[in-house]
Structure 1
Amino acid sequence: MQRQGSIGGSAAIRIRVTGGVLLVAHLAFVAWFSLRPLDVPWVMPANLRPFAGIRADLALGWPAAAQRIGTGLALLAPLGVLLPMAGGRLAVSRLGSLLRTVTAGALLSLGIELVQTAVPGQVADVDSLLLNTVGVALAHLAVVPAGRSWLRRRAEHRSRSAVAKEEPAQGRTPTIPRVGIAPWSDALPPSSP
């Protein structure tokens, strides 16, 4: 039995498997990138004031600020597409899908920031949490609604063309010409003498 609003048949399986494999690969990259120990001479204290790190990055000037802020936005942004892709549902609320995806991205980012406190050279930063969450939301808004719309149109087109091409397996159903009712005498068995 197929869930309501899910993609049909083998397409659903392919999309879910692809989304799951890409999701695992991306999470492995994020774990490597975010949780590897760094060899640094000193460590800055944790940033627990929202936007303080972003203001400090902007004070560095354009290229450095763009690189740091861009890295924060891009790190978890693929989750905005991969999480709904792994779910494989087409008929869902846009707002509900966005909220579920952004919440999952924010919780994952929070988990990374908490684990970073135990990694040498890594420091927890509330601005990283904010940038990662905004990156997930932007990627979701940019790709998922248009992708779902395209997949729905494609599925509808395929189902319409399949119905149009479908012919009965036995050929045309024969029509029987109208037959009158036989008189009683023809219907009774012959009488014995």
Structure 2
Amino acid sequence: MQRQGSIGGNAVIRIRVTGGVLLVAHLALVAWLTLRPLDVPWVRPANLRPLAGIRADLALGWPDAAARIGAGLALLAPLGFLLPMADGRLTVSLLGSLFRTAATGALISLGIVLAQTGVPGRVADVDALLLNTAGVILAHLAFVPTGRAWLRRRARGGEQEPVTAETPQGRTPTIPRVGIVP
């Protein structure tokens, strides 16, 4: 059975499988990058004040600040389009999709930050959570609406698929309610 609002046939399966495989690969790369122990002589204290780390990065100057803030934005940014791609729906509200994707990205980032507290050489940083979530939101806004519009146009303009048990055939007939006989 097919989800409402998704494209039919093999295309939805290919998009979902590709999205799922890329999502798992990206999350494995992120886990490898962020959860490896670091061999450092000292560890700075955890940053639990929002925007304090970003202000400190900006105080370093343009190239260093851009590199650090850009890395924070880019770490989980692919989730902004990989999560909707793995979902596979085309007709969904932009705001609902953005909220679900941003919430999932924030929860994954929170999980990484919490897991880093047990890794030697790593510390919790609330600014990483903010930057990662902002990166997911920006990537979603940049790619998902145009990608869905392109796929909808392609699905409408392409050849029609044969009607099978998996393709929608119209409204489901309803049975009128009958009261209980006394």
CA distance in 2, matches of 1:74, 1:109: 12
Give 2:26's aligned residue: 26
Superposed CA offset, 1:34-53 (max 9, x none):
00000111000000000000
CA distance in 1, matches of 2:141, 2:76: 14
Give 1:134's aligned residue: 134
Matched residue type, 1:88: G
Give 2:97's aligned residue: 97
Q: TM-score, normalised by structure 1?
A: 0.82
Q: Equivalent pairs: percent with the same residue?
A: 78
**Structure 1: which 5+ residue stretches go unaligned?**
164-193
The Cα of 1:4 is off from its aligned counterpart by 1.1
Matched residue type, 2:101: T
Give 1:119's aligned residue: 119
Superposed CA offset, 1:82-140 (max 9, x none):
00000000010100000000000000000000000000000100000000000000000
- The question of 1:61 aligning with 2:43 is answered no
Matched residue type, 1:122: R
CA distance in 1, matches of 2:61, 2:108: 30
CA distance in 2, matches of 1:81, 1:134: 13
**Larger RCO: Structure 1 or Structure 2 (Cα < 8 Å, ≥ 6 residues apart)?**
2
CA RMSD of aligned residues (A): 1.0
CA distance in 1, matches of 2:109, 2:21: 20
Superposed CA offset, 1:143-182 (max 9, x none):
00000000001101114xx49xxxxxxxxxxxxxxxxxxx
CA distance in 1, matches of 2:75, 2:102: 14
SS of 2:158's partner is helix
Matched residue type, 1:41: P
- The question of 1:8 aligning with 2:11 is answered no
**Structure 2: which 5+ residue stretches go unaligned?**
162-182
Q: How does 1:44-59 map to 2 (within 5 A)?
A: 44-59=44-59
CA distance in 1, matches of 2:74, 2:25: 15
Q: TM-score, normalised by structure 2?
A: 0.87
CA distance in 2, matches of 1:89, 1:3: 8
CA distance in 2, matches of 1:21, 1:3: 20
